[in-house]
């Protein structure tokens, strides 16, 4: 009898806890906590996880191809990162903006859509995510991470690769800023535009430079493979391309900092547009 009574009390306690969790005021409090700027770690974790998955695919193609010859062609290796970026934007873009790329974070900040104080944290976790992916691939596949990095093609100079990376990144950041603008905001379908561009740019541009367009993507494999011989190309090229893309966006659409661009750059957690009167 006593045991039955205790079980009933236990069930009542669980039921009360569930009702408390479903209470509208409690749910509103949880939402407020989630939007609290002190919860910046959610954004940072999102960027780390997203960059990890991007580099897992981008570097994994070359490393897997080295371990298992004739299994992964160049077309598949350069299209896969585009598909992965598309998926990442769809599943976590609302949390952090899904930058996954220091050049993109800096471009959003220059555009006025992203707070400069958040840029260092984003870049650090992007580099960490890329490094963790390269370490994972090195451990599982068992080949040097250099096979998953980017280098200027034989017969082409580092200058050639630099120009190619700058032009490819100009296009990438232009697509990102364009699909994030109030004038041409296409919502989640922006993921299709960004993913498709990465795939197409890789198909025609990768033979010369590798089609990185992302300092973090190249940093991880270079660090794990301890080979930074040409890394400057994959920092300077994307940064120059990103800066030019911001200038082009200003010519095409005027200043940034509007609600749409800021929401795309920052995600939905405590979005802070610098020009709230602008869409």
Q: What pTM value is reported for the model?
A: 0.79
Q: Give the pLDDT score at 25.
A: 58
Annotated domain spans of the chain: 41-266
Question: pLDDT digits over 164-212, tens only?
Answer: 999 999 999 999 998 875 444 445 678 899 999 999 999 999 999 999 9
Picking from 117, 95, 254, the residue whose alpha carbon sits closest to that of residue 177 is: 254
Stretch 37-47: mean pLDDT = 85
Rounded CA-CA distance 216/253 in Å is 28
CATH topology of domain 41-266: Glycerol uptake facilitator protein (1.20.1080)
Mutual orientation of helices 215-225 and 233-253 as an angle, nearest 10°?
A: 170
Question: pLDDT digits over 237-261, tens only?
Answer: 999 999 999 999 999 887 765 555 5
- The position carrying tokens 């080949």 is 143
Show the tokens assigned to 44: 């940072």
Q: Give the pLDDT score at 183.
A: 40
pLDDT at 12 over 60: no
Q: Give the pLDDT score at 21.
A: 44
Give phi and psi for 198, each to the nearest 5: -60, -40
Which residues have CB under 8 Å from 198's CB, separation 6+?
81, 82, 85, 172, 213
pLDDT at 128 over 90: yes
Stretch 228-236: mean pLDDT = 96
Q: Give the pLDDT score at 242.
A: 97
Q: Give the pLDDT score at 184.
A: 42
Rounded CA-CA distance 134/62 in Å is 11
Stretch 228-233: mean pLDDT = 95
Stretch 122-131: mean pLDDT = 98
Mean pLDDT of the chain: 83
Rounded CA-CA distance 99/96 in Å is 7
Picking from 78, 82, 44, 40, the residue whose alpha carbon sits closest to that of residue 61 is: 78
Query: Which of 53-62, 93-102, 115-124, 215-224 is the least confident region?
Result: 93-102
Contact 48, 274 (CB under 8 A): no
């Amino acid at each position: 009898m006593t045991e039955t009574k205790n079980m009933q009390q236990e069930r009542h306690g669980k039921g009360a806890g569930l009702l408390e969790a479903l209470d509208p005021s409690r749910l509103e409090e949880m939402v407020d906590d989630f939007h609290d700027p002190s919860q910046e770690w959610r954004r940072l974790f999102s960027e780390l996880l997203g960059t990890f998955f991007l580099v897992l695919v981008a570097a994994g193609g070359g490393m897997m191809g080295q371990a298992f010859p004739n299994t992964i062609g160049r077309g598949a290796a350069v299209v896969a990162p585009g598909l992965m970026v598309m998926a990442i934007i769809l599943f976590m873009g609302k949390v952090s903006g899904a930058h996954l790329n220091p050049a993109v974070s800096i471009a959003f900040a220059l555009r006025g859509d992203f707070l400069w104080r958040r840029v260092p944290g984003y870049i650090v976790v992007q580099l960490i995510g890329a490094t963790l992916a390269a370490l994972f691939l090195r451990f599982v596949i068992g080949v040097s991470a250099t096979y998953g990095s980017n280098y200027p093609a034989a017969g082409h100079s580092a200058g050639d690769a630099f120009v190619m990376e700058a032009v490819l990144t100009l296009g990438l950041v232009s697509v990102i800023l364009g699909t994030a603008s109030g004038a041409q905001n296409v919502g989640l379908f922006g993921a299709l535009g960004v993913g498709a561009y990465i795939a197409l740019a890789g198909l025609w541009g990768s033979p010369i430079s590798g089609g990185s367009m992302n300092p973090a993507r190249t940093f991880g494999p270079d660090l794990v493979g301890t080979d930074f011989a040409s890394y400057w190309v994959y920092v300077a090229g994307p940064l120059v391309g990103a800066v030019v893309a911001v200038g082009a966006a200003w010519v095409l659409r005027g200043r940034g900092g509007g609600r749409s661009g800021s929401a795309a750059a920052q995600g939905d957690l405590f979005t802070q547009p610098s020009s709230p009167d602008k869409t």
